[in-house]
């Protein structure tokens, strides 16, 4: 089937929940993908930060093939060897102690919300249930996760929403302090906001958040579904700020392209969950765990994180040069290979121009060009992208 044939059949039979571009990707290798008409693209979206090792990394595909021939699935009522190894690897490379595996970032955040409330009721009192999150945050599409999300546009039409969430401006410590009330049990933040427009907060803000949580006995939940696992140039993004979180959620890059999520917690918090409190039938099954174990070992042992830092710095420098040339870029921000270029105009035309020229990029919040490529990209790849952006911005500038 070609692009048009896939689109026509999809429009008839697939539920209309995504604003899809008129193309179907059918093949990927490294940082490149091909559509059903044979067109080649440089992929700087990477499945929305999922394909951190690029497409079809041999270590991951070989692990999947090997595990698929041995045991694809079994229930979590049995111990699963690759799951146990993956949990140990994640714990040994973070400040967390225990891991719960699920299938997605939204599920990981649902687990975090449940664990925080369970821990709070056991240790802080029955009236502790409220979680404070940030405006412009994004925590997933399930009902509690979308309620935790600090963007009203994602919640419209889904009311009534679950109770027990408050929202404050990201990076404003005074607003956070004022929001803490008698029912508050946790603060839930993204170290780098992704969907909200690649937003960062100052080191001083994070110091004060940690201090506030300690003083008030609040759990600090960090959503690293998008920004975690090497993307910012450190294994986990909170390590940039020297934080000591109680709960961290992961997904996207974890499986190297295979669906798997994780909710990690320090021992004292994790122990609030007992058998029967939470579960996921497919969570951390043998196939998903084997893929994730291969992906994480590759990331940790083959210089992938260092490359994200090095090439990310180069990319940010090049984007800053473009900003100096084109006033429509008002700010360049981000860490590692999670970068954003804030525009003074809508970004859709730039995204469309780049796609026509063989480059896939993304726009968040309508006017932030978001760059979340595979972490294996080179400076040569960045140069190609910057040259195309230069062309696109030049055309935009003439119209402004």
pLDDT in tens, 304-350: 999 999 999 999 999 999 999 999 999 999 999 999 999 999 999 99
Q: What class is the 3-56+303-398 domain?
A: alpha beta
Confidence of residue 398 (pLDDT cuts 50, 70, 90): confident
Q: What is the pTM for the complete model shown?
A: 0.96
Q: In what order do the strands lie in the sheet with 362-364?
A: 329-335, 338-343, 368-371, 362-364
**CA quadruple 152, 154, 157, 161: dihedral positive or negative?**
negative
Which residues lie below 8 Å from residue 143, measured CB to CB, with a gap of 6+? 158, 161, 162
pLDDT at 400: 66
Same fold, 3-56+303-398 and 58-302: no
CA trace torsion 229, 108, 283, 62 (10° rounding): -20
226 is known to lie in a ligand binding site: yes
CATH 3.40.640.10 holds for 58-302: yes
- The structure tokens listed for 203 are 């080191």
Q: For 137, phi and psi rounded to 5 degrees?
A: -75, 165
pLDDT in tens, 233-270: 999 999 999 999 999 999 999 999 999 999 999 999 99
Which residues lie below 8 Å from residue 245, measured CB to CB, with a gap of 6+? 95, 96, 220, 221, 222, 238, 266
Q: From 200, 212, 199, select the one nearest 240 (Cα to Cα).
A: 200
Residue 142 confidence (pLDDT) above 70: yes
Q: From 334, 345, 328, select the one nearest 44 (Cα to Cα).
A: 334
pLDDT at 197: 94
Residue 135 confidence (pLDDT) above 90: yes
pLDDT in tens, 185-238: 999 999 999 999 999 999 999 999 999 999 999 999 999 999 999 999 999 999
47: region left, alpha or beta (phi > 0 left; psi from -120 to 50 alpha): left
208 is known to lie in a ligand binding site: no
106 is known to lie in a ligand binding site: yes
What is the mean pLDDT of the segment spanning 86-102? 98
Share of the chain above pLDDT 70, in %: 100
What is the mean pLDDT of the segment spanning 4-10? 97
pLDDT in tens, 280-310: 999 999 999 999 999 999 999 999 999 999 9
99 is known to lie in a ligand binding site: no
Kindly state the helix (H) or strand (E) to which residue 348 belongs, with its residue range: helix 348-356
Q: Can you give the residue ranges of every domain in the chain?
A: 3-56+303-398, 58-302
Contact 344, 338 (CB under 8 A): no
231 is known to lie in a ligand binding site: no
Helix (H, G, I), strand (E, B) or coil at 270: helix
Confidence of residue 395 (pLDDT cuts 50, 70, 90): confident
Q: Rounded to whole angstroms, how far apart are CA atoms 198 and 295?
A: 24
171: region left, alpha or beta (phi > 0 left; psi from -120 to 50 alpha): left
Q: Rounded to whole angstroms, how far apart are CA atoms 116 and 223?
A: 13
pLDDT at 396: 80
């Amino acid at each position: 089937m070609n692009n048009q044939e896939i689109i026509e059949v999809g429009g008839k039979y697939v539920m209309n929940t995504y604003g899809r571009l008129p193309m179907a990707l059918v093949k990927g290798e490294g940082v490149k993908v091909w559509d059903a008409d044979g067109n080649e693209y440089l992929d700087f979206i990477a499945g929305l930060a999922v394909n951190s090792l690029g497409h079809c990394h041999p270590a991951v595909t070989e692990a999947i093939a090997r595990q698929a021939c041995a045991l694809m699935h079994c229930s979590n009522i049995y111990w699963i060897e690759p799951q146990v190894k993956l949990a140990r690897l994640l714990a040994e490379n973070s400040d967390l102690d225990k891991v719960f595996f699920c299938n997605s970032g939204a599920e990981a955040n649902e687990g975090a919300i449940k664990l925080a409330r369970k821990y709070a009721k056991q240790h802080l009192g029955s009236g502790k249930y409220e979680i404070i999150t940030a405006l412009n945050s994004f925590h997933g599409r399930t009902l509690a996760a979308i309620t935790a999300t600090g963007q009203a546009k994602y919640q419209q039409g889904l009311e009534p929403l679950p109770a027990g969430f408050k929202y404050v401006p990201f990076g404003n410590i005074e607003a956070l302090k004022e929001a803490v009330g008698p029912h508050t049990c946790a603060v839930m933040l993204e170290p780098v906001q992704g969907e909200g427009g690649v937003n960062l907060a100052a080191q001083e803000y994070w110091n004060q958040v940690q201090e506030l949580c300690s003083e008030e006995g609040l759990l600090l939940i960090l959503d690293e579904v998008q920004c975690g696992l090497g993307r910012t140039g450190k294994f986990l993004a909170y390590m940039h700020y020297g934080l000591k979180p109680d709960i961290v959620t992961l997904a996207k890059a974890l499986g190297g392209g295979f669906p798997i999520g994780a909710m990690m917690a320090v021992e004292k918090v994790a122990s609030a969950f007992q058998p029967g409190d939470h579960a996921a039938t497919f969570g951390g099954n043998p196939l998903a765990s084997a893929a994730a174990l291969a992906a994480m070992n590759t990331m940790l042992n083959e210089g992938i994180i260092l490359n994200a830092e090095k090439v990310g710095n180069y990319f940010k420098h090049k984007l800053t040069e473009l900003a100096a040339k084109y006033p429509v870029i008002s700010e360049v921000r981000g860490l590692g290979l999670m970068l954003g270029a804030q525009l003074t105009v809508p970004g859709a035309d730039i995204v469309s121009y780049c796609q026509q020229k063989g480059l896939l990029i993304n726009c968040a919040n309508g006017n932030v060009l978001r760059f979340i490529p595979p972490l294996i990209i080179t400076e040569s790849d960045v140069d190609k992208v910057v040259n195309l952006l230069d062309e696109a911005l030049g055309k935009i500038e003439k119209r402004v």
